[in-house]
Amino acid sequence: MIKHGFVVNDVPSEGMDSIKEKLGVPKSLQSCHTAVVDGYVVEGHVPAGDVKKLLVTKPKAVGLAAPGMPSGSPGMEMDGSKPNFSILLFDKQGKTQTFHEYSNQ
């Protein structure tokens, strides 16, 4: 994220489950990293371009998620393969819609 112009304040915490719950991240969307960017939650290995698009389009949503740790997402590139994965936009009720679909990048 730093390489893409974001200022990162890394705050390691032992209480991530309660932080994710407080921020409104449904269990089904949770991943390893949780961030707040201009009021939006960014959960997991969401590409910087999607975060930038979120900040420009400003949808009514809690934020974006890359549930789990999808292979092929930033930081999870394995063996040169480029598997499909989705970035999901989610709201306060936990409803999701596809924000960006990555297929055979």
Mean pLDDT of successive 10-residue segments in the chain (105 residues)?
Answer: 89 91 96 94 94 98 86 58 83 96 75
User: The pTM is what?
Assistant: 0.84
User: C-alpha angle with apex 83: 88 to 70, nearest 5 degrees?
Assistant: 50
Two tokens at 56?
A: 């420009």
Residue 71: the pLDDT is 57
Range of the domain at 89: 2-6+13-102
Residue 81: the pLDDT is 61
Question: Residue-wise over 39-53: b if at least 16 C-beta within 10 A, else e?
Answer: ebbbbbbbbeebbee
**Torsion sign over Cα 53, 54, 60, 64:** positive
The number of domains in the chain is 1
Cα→Cα distances 22→17, 50, 62, 88, Å: 9, 23, 12, 19
